[in-house]
Structure 1
Amino acid sequence: MCDDAAHEHYRSTCDIGPATRAARISLPNLFPEVQVLKFSDDLSCTETVLLEASEELITKIESGIRFVIRGSRCDTAVLCSPDRTWEIKARETSNSLLVAPDVATAGNLSLGGESSVTIREIPSVTSEYLELRQIIPHWGLAKHLLEEAPFSGYANEEKVNDKRKYTFSDLLDLVQSSEEELLCYLRQKIPACEIDGYWRLLDNHYIYSIAERIASWTRTNALDENKIPSYEAYTALLDMEPEEVMRNFFWERFAERSGDVLRIRKDAIRRQLARIVLSKIQTTSLSVMNELFVREIGSEFSMADVEGIAFRILDDKLNVTDTVEYFPKEDLRIEPEARFQALFDARPRWTREEILPFICDILLPGQTADQLLFKYAKSYLDRSRSKKRSQTETEDTTVRPMTYFIALRQL
């Protein structure tokens, strides 16, 4: 590297010889073209921003894929492609970074030809760069916005006429998410549906009332709930409910298609019933839930009906009780550290099977649940129960030690 006065001395590789010898570089190991770096007369320390990017991301940028930076002044900025979201963080380096866009790398230099010296200008110097980290978008804001004007049928629209409603474009302007990820969230993770051009959060009681009326409709028309012709299903209740709700929400989430027939998903209806009950009373006993399920749908309650919705409370000795507490994962923070903190604040220890439904929605592409668990929690083997039982029972009936996960801060 040289300044204005010095660079005139470097006219050939012979002139550079003393410098290469001092650096213990053999001239035969150099490319014929020697590049000398020179600070520009208009050197700037603020005009250039460097962005650290993976090869995959660089390929996408060079292919012309559209990227958008989203976030308000109060947010950490995020970079969004059509289907992914990255958090942008400013990082400092211990050494200055010289920005020299015209410098040729080894792959662009020729091994043949005569020796020459080329002056390359450095227009900018910086000690910062932007780091990208792929994240799960902060979807909670979308649900919060849609809660302003929930949909419970056209008959109740007068109650929310003065409330703001949001198009997909409105939500995309406010929520830090890629288009595809936000659309997936609205269609699969919360009870939302696009009605008359606006995305609306559907009321839980309203959803269950549709399920009840569909069950009545199938009985009245002598239809098998496991083999409902799709052309009949898509016209059911259209005299009372929006087509978008029936076709794009109910039949998408509460039924499975096989060819031209639909099968009612009873597991989805069971979960909806459990959500209605628990969201209202927050905590109840297994016996109460069981009685209600038998009365309403003719089958017993199972904890599988509330995976990711509720958990069983522990007593002072960390034994599982028969009390169930409402704890929907969609109301929890999306950041892993905050999510695990909320889980361990609610309950000091979990088995792997118990905690998985509450973290499966925050896994990044290529990440496994076990990787997340062992990063944000600590496992331990509880042998106390098996030892107690083994004193009074035969080996064949001894309960195996149970592995639990606890918060890192408990260590």
Structure 2
Amino acid sequence: MSCIDRSVDDVKKLIHHAKLTNDELLPVTQTLEFTENYGEGGGKTLLFEANSELLETLKKGDRLIFRGDPEAGAVLCTKNKTYEVRDAETSNSLVLLPEFTFPDGMQAEGERSLINRRVKAIHHSYLEVRPCKPRLQKLRQMLNERPFNGDQEMEGERYCLNDLLDRVQCSEEELDQALLDVEAYHLYGFWQILDFDYRFKVVSDILNLIETNKWPLDNVPRIATIRVLSESEPRAVISQCFEYYLKPTGNITDEGDELYTLNDDKVCRLCAEVLLKPAGKFNLNDFLTIWQQSVPEGLTTNLAQLEGIALVDRSCTPEIISHFPACNLTEDIQERFAFLFETKDKWTFDEIRPYIEDLATNATPVSALLTKYARASTKDGIKYYTGRHVK
């Protein structure tokens, strides 16, 4: 008997066979009709699992967007979060109905009635979504295609914000933060990073102007600096570089110019990279001396400023330091750990943390990653981490 032929009496009999009573059920029964062409067009519909946060996003009318290059798969993004998307199979049949009435939309009392629902498709798989870290390697690749060196006419691809949103696997707010983290510049409608040598030149111009005018390092006028240096470099570059390497003090001059202070750690970090990038390996003691001499008078250098860009090897004599930026490492966890332990046999927690903390989540912190992908041992009271398969 097809469901369209069912009567109220038929439903009552089924209720009885199921050892239920009418009082236990709402008075509306919805029957399903499988028409001859019910599966047609079902392949055009994808089902995905929505947690409470995603459901609330949809209820508010906000968008959910799939992002990522075809070869990289896709992620699902809200305005501020990224979700990994996986195809999941289920042994249960997921029945797709154009219309359905849920219990909270039904009357609790009344005579039993029937509503016929036509089945549009049946699915045995759905998209499973899980929160994940933003995947930003693509952003770095795209921005590195054409670093800005002061020449607007130089060849190479440039990307506007929509280009980046289409291809980088992260939400809009996460992309905004990532652009700040990689020191990206909005130039002529496009997002670019500065060529390293050019960036150092611009920062040096700011530092030289401060020294020439004998401004205190914690009282640098913003408008005056940008006005002078914009005569030789694009104003957009100067103004954004100024914001990256100085911080507002909250004070203003009598002329209404905002006063800024140097971001000591960022300036020291940049000066260190200038020394380390071309050097390969550097005697640590010699480096520390030259590094301190290279920064503006009044700034103090320390190795903590080099987290994630430099590696110190204390196992050799003399001790050495080398340029080792975390931003160049793969996002694949297993490949990341394999490369780290190929580079260095033993790591302390403080040494390895800057190179894996971008992989950590609230559910899987750095300590949990080390438990899973490394082996711990203690020597002379110091805990070291090595590869799990090292003999």
TM-score, normalization: structure 1? 0.82
TM-superposed deviation, 1:322: 1.8
Q: Contact 1:293/1:300 (CA < 8 Å) preserved in 2?
A: no
What are the within-5 Å matches in structure 2 for residues 145-224 of structure 1?
145-154=142-151, 161-187=154-180, 189-224=181-216
Q: Residue 253 of structure 1 corresponds to which residue in structure 2? A: 244
Post-superposition CA distance 1:21-74 (Å, at most 9, x none): 433333321112222223233211524321111121122123222333233432
Question: Secondary structure of the residue that 2:239 maps to in structure 1?
Answer: helix
Gaps of 5+ in 1: 386-400
CA gap 1:300/1:28 in 2 versus in 1, 3 angstroms? closer
Post-superposition CA distance 1:299-337 (Å, at most 9, x none): 77532121011222364xxx8972223221111223444
Which amino acid in 2 is paired with 1:95?
A: N
Matches of 1:354 and 1:135, distance apart in 2: 25
Matches of 1:132 and 1:375, distance apart in 2: 26
CA gap 1:283/1:28 in 2 versus in 1, 3 angstroms? same
Question: Secondary structure of the residue that 1:194 maps to in structure 2?
Answer: strand
Question: Secondary structure of the residue that 1:92 maps to in structure 2?
Answer: strand
Q: Contact 1:356/1:369 (CA < 8 Å) preserved in 2?
A: no
Residue number among 29, 46, 64 corresponding to 2:43 in the alignment: 46
Question: Secondary structure of the residue that 1:74 maps to in structure 2?
Answer: helix
Q: CA RMSD in A?
A: 2.8
Q: Contact 2:284/2:318 (CA < 8 Å) preserved in 1?
A: no
Matches of 2:144 and 2:126, distance apart in 1: 39
Residue number among 210, 228, 235 corresponding to 2:227 in the alignment: 235
TM-superposed deviation, 1:292: 1.5
Residue number among 404, 408, 411 corresponding to 2:384 in the alignment: 404
What are the within-5 Å matches in structure 2 for residues 227-376 of structure 1?
227-248=219-240, 250-259=241-250, 260=252, 261-297=259-295, 302-313=302-313, 315=315, 322-364=319-361, 366=362, 369-370=365-366, 373=369, 376=372
% of aligned pairs identical? 27
Count of residue pairs brought into register by the alignment? 380
Post-superposition CA distance 1:256-311 (Å, at most 9, x none): 11113211122211100112222222322212311321332367753212101122
Matches of 1:219 and 1:172, distance apart in 2: 41
Question: Secondary structure of the residue that 2:36 maps to in structure 1?
Answer: strand
Matches of 2:350 and 2:7, distance apart in 1: 71
Matches of 1:118 and 1:88, distance apart in 2: 36
Question: Secondary structure of the residue that 2:384 maps to in structure 1?
Answer: strand
Residue number among 118, 132, 139 corresponding to 2:129 in the alignment: 132
TM-superposed deviation, 1:375: 6.2
Post-superposition CA distance 1:120-151 (Å, at most 9, x none): 22221111101112333332222222223222
CA gap 1:89/1:224 in 2 versus in 1, 3 angstroms? same
Matches of 1:26 and 1:269, distance apart in 2: 77
Matches of 2:96 and 2:302, distance apart in 1: 62
Post-superposition CA distance 1:206-259 (Å, at most 9, x none): 2222333322212221211111233323324111122212212x2222111111
- The answer on 1:100 being equivalent to 2:68 is no
Gaps of 5+ in 2: 253-258
Q: Contact 2:360/2:366 (CA < 8 Å) preserved in 1?
A: no
